Amino acid sequence: MSASGFPVTAEHDLAWIEAPHPNDELHRRIGVMGGTFDPIHHGHLVAASEVQHRFGLDEVIFVPTGEPPYKQEREVSPAEYRYLMTVIATASNARFSVSRVDIDRPGLTYTIDTLRDLREIYPDDEFFFITGADVLPQILDWKDASELWELAHFVGVSRPGHSIASNGLPPDRVTVIEVPAMAISSTDVRERERIGVPIWYLVPDGVVQYIRKYGLYSPSRIPRVSQPGRAARQRQGR
Ligand code: NAP
């Protein structure tokens, strides 16, 4: 138990998760890694790998948000940048993939729509929605919250020492695990890049190079090339 009383998994708590389960081609266990990923960093990747291992997941699908509903006050990098950084970061892991469902759906991104869209693509599979544990206490206020529990088990990834308020969350549908590498944060990576402090080894090398190529997070850096997807959108009149 964490200080707040929310169950953080210890090895013995994982017995049910790690027990042999009837994974087969028809009923796979799929992690749905939802996040803004502005930018994706090694904390996210370690967290996804850890949850994949502990829950015996066949695949983890990273789903960068389109327009996050609670981020109207801060400027989020265009979705196409965040999507491509996520593709670069996950390319070498055979169990990782990236979905465009959230960035291609118009309007604000709600997790209920993410899970419904993925359910249409994977009608027989079991979903484990993975996200930051900080986000979990807000879930009860999310759109169609009561239906979320039917569509997925929720896994909150916690930074070491963070306590999570569990009020009202169904304990059988929510698990919190601590991942030490989550000490890395996207906010910190953006700030480091803004003030010119190295971000090497906090994010994958290819993502560092992509950030530099497009001048992300650094107001003084001129991008060498135009925004990905912009030419295509202009041709389509969007
Ligand atoms: P956020 O508020 O930016 O992140 C909160 C915390 O969780 C941050 O510490 C963040 O660290 C961490 N985090 C976020 N995604 C993570 C992940 N996949 N794995 C590990 N840590 C993660 O959260 P957000 O990115 O906007 O939203 C997270 C997910 O919840 C998205 O899929 C979003 O669509 C969904 N959401 C849904 C609703 C709704 O349906 N109404 C509302 C809010 C969020 P970093 O900053 O380092 O990533």
Reported as a single tens digit per residue, the pLDDT across 223-233 is 656 666 555 45
* Ligand 1 atom nearest 41 alpha carbon: 47
Q: 0.85 cut: is pTM over it?
A: yes
Residues with CB under 6 A from ligand 1: 33-36, 44, 47, 65, 68-71, 109-111, 130-132, 134-135, 142-143, 157, 185-187
Q: Which residue has the tokens 């930074």?
A: 159
Q: Given a cut of 50, is residue 129 above it in pLDDT?
A: yes
Query: Contact 1/50 with Cβ under 8 angstroms?
Result: no
Reported as a single tens digit per residue, the pLDDT across 175-225 is 999 998 888 999 999 999 999 999 999 999 999 999 999 999 987 665 656
Query: Contact 67/82 with Cβ under 8 angstroms?
Result: no
Looking at residue 126, what is its pLDDT? 97
Of 119-123, 167-171, 233-237, the least confident: 233-237
Q: Tally Cβ neighbours within 10 Å of residue 17.
A: 19
Q: What is the mean pLDDT of residues 154-171?
A: 82
* Ligand 1 atom nearest 34 alpha carbon: 32
Spatial CA neighbour of 135 closest among 152, 116, 161, 155: 155
Cα 43 to Cα 211: distance, rounded to the nearest angstrom: 17
Looking at residue 16, what is its pLDDT? 42
Residue of the CA atom closest to atom 8 of ligand 1: 132
Ligand 1: centre distance to CA 20 (Å): 30
Backbone angles phi, psi at 203, to 5 degrees: -125, 160
